[in-house]
Amino acid sequence: MLSRIAPGLCLATTLIATPLAVAAPSAGSMDAATSATVPGAVEAYRWFHANPELSNHEAKTAAHLAAALESLGLTVHRGIGGHGIVAVLRSKTGASKGPVVLYRADMDGLPVKEETGLPYASKNPGVMHACGHDIHMATAIGVMAALQALSDQWHGTVIFVGQPSEEVGSGARAMLRDKRFKKILASTGKPDLAIALHDAADLPAGDVSLIEGFHHANVDSVDIIIHGKGGHGARPHQTIDPIVIGANIVMSLQTIVSRRLRPDDKAVVTVGKFAAGTKHNIIPPSATLLLTVRSYSDETRKTLLAEIRRIAVHLAKAHRAPRPEVIVSKHGIPAAYNDPAWTRRIRTALVATLGEAHVKTHNPSLGGEDFGLFARDLKIPGIMFKLGAVDPKRWKRSGGKGLPGLHSDHWAPAPKATVHTGIRTITAAIVEGLRPR
């Protein structure tokens, strides 16, 4: 969908076909450079894990990450789109001759009370890095250190983005809208590729997984406010009962995915909240439904939202109620898409780094991830892959079943193996992205 890259490119053909080709770092030098960064990255992980901050409040987190990047000699721009930070690393070999890769890690924690009992558990009551964004930041420190150490062995520019407020879906958009972010991109040139990873509770540490095409969904929130006419529960004929209308709407919404979409088109319409009334014998004047709506393509997204409106408006009309309010949140996030040609290139690089057995594929998720906005907004290909984070021994004992998932109060990645694999794989993926155009 977003590809500007001819399909079928692979590492070997790129090198042969490109007269500009310079020696990329060898496997040996990448191994040495990435391994050297692991102790510092794991220490940073423990700090991030112990000091989580909620979305829109990542001030100390951003400052800690910025300081770590500054200690590598990078210039860090702070306060972009809220608490976002941006660091630019140019190769020593002549950045202007090479590609530009945008690499993003998110920084926010969740309103979860940690129950892991770890010695480095959250010191911030009721807040936890339960999604593993601490892993992402620690990995980023290692990656930027390794790329800095190897910066005489690649051409181009790496733009590191420390993004706030991923969990509330607003951070990527806020950064992209910030004039200072646009100015940085004007100075580096538009990125050729956007790249990120997310830790995974359904893969052992040491493994990664990636898929071509959509990997996260369009996420929309819809409020439906049904206006009826309140009255006595014993005299329903004198009222317009918004609860009965709401119940009709809830049931009819179930037909959108099952009867309006193609059977192979994946989507979800969930009513997460139905609020109305105060007491047994009072028919209330209004009722409210809160929906989450998930899809992959722009077209399906449009269809779902139009059908929801149609059903709500016409069912209210059928019951002689005023036109209901159907409010689609402006904070919806678009689906995230892995460019197929780039996915194949990056997979080749990951297999060369970890071995075939450790590079998996998975089913796309109907979860949300605002990383997709970087690729969509800048009209560039994007790649996101999953990073296994479960202690491999625990994984083996459990057969991968019954383990705490992301957002769980017991989510406890295996720091060293996860961060090490994250640093090795993202470094390899970025180096692949930096191969001459």
Give the catalytic positions in this structure. Answer: 108, 166
Q: Which of 275, 267, 329 is nearest to 293 (CA)?
A: 267
Give the nearer residue to Zn ion in terms of CB position, either 140 or 312. Answer: 140
Q: Which residue in this structure is represented by tokens 């060898």?
A: 26
Q: Which of 256, 287, 293 is nearest to 271 (CA)?
A: 293
Give the nearer residue to Zn ion in terms of CB position, either 208 or 224. Answer: 208
**CA–CA distance, 133 with 405 (Å, rounded to integer):** 14
| Nearest distance, CB of residue 407 and Zn ion, angstroms | 6
Strand 84-90 relative to strand 75-80, pairing: antiparallel
**CA–CA distance, 420 with 437 (Å, rounded to integer):** 29
Q: Report the phi/psi class of residue 94: left, alpha or beta, with left for phi > 0 and alpha for psi in -120 to 50.
A: left
Question: How many residues line the site for Zn ion (CB under 5 A)?
Answer: 1
| Nearest distance, CB of residue 110 and Zn ion, angstroms | 7
Give the nearer residue to Zn ion in terms of CB position, either 31 or 115. Answer: 115
Do residues 223 and 217 touch, judged by C-beta distance below 8 A? no
Under the criterion CB under 5 A, does residue 200 sit at the interface with Zn ion?
no
| Nearest distance, CB of residue 82 and Zn ion, angstroms | 17
**CA–CA distance, 389 with 368 (Å, rounded to integer):** 20
**CA–CA distance, 113 with 339 (Å, rounded to integer):** 37
10 Å CB burial of residue 330 (0-12, 13-18, 19+) is exposed
Cα–Cα–Cα angle for 174, 175, 177, nearest 5°? Answer: 65
**x/- map, 115-134, Zn ion, by CB under 5 A:** ----------------x---
Give the nearer residue to Zn ion in terms of CB position, either 25 or 164. Answer: 164
Give the nearer residue to Zn ion in terms of CB position, either 217 or 316. Answer: 217
Give the nearer residue to Zn ion in terms of CB position, either 44 or 107. Answer: 107
Site for Zn ion in 301-360 (CB under 5 A): none
| Nearest distance, CB of residue 44 and Zn ion, angstroms | 18
- Six token digits for residue 191: 């990125």
Q: Which amino acid is at 55?
A: S
- Those residues whose C-beta lies under 8 Å from the C-beta of residue 261, and which sit 6 or more positions away, are 267, 300, 303, 304
Q: What is the DSSP string of 29-84?
A: HHHHHHHHHHHHHHHHHHHHHHS--BTT--HHHHHHHHHHHHTTT-EEEEEETTTE
**x/- map, 129-158, Zn ion, by CB under 5 A:** --x---------------------------
Helix, strand, coil tally for the chain in percent (to 5): 40, 25, 35
| Nearest distance, CB of residue 172 and Zn ion, angstroms | 12
| The total number of residues written for the chain in this structure | 437
Q: Which residue in this structure is represented by tokens 């979800």?
A: 268
Q: Which of 429, 409, 420 is nearest to 122 (CA)?
A: 409
Give the nearer residue to Zn ion in terms of CB position, either 242 or 415. Answer: 415
Q: Which amino acid is at 93?
A: T
| Nearest distance, CB of residue 424 and Zn ion, angstroms | 21
Do residues 9 and 389 touch, judged by C-beta distance below 8 A? no
Give the nearer residue to Zn ion in terms of CB position, either 72 or 373. Answer: 373
Give the nearer residue to Zn ion in terms of CB position, either 103 or 154. Answer: 103
> What are the distances in angstroms from CA 55 to CA 111, 133, 292?
9, 11, 20
Helix (H, G, I), strand (E, B), or coil: what is residue 159? strand
| Nearest distance, CB of residue 368 and Zn ion, angstroms | 9
**CA–CA distance, 385 with 375 (Å, rounded to integer):** 14
| Residue sitting closest to Zn ion (CB) | 131
**Contact footprint for Zn ion (CB under 5 A):** 131
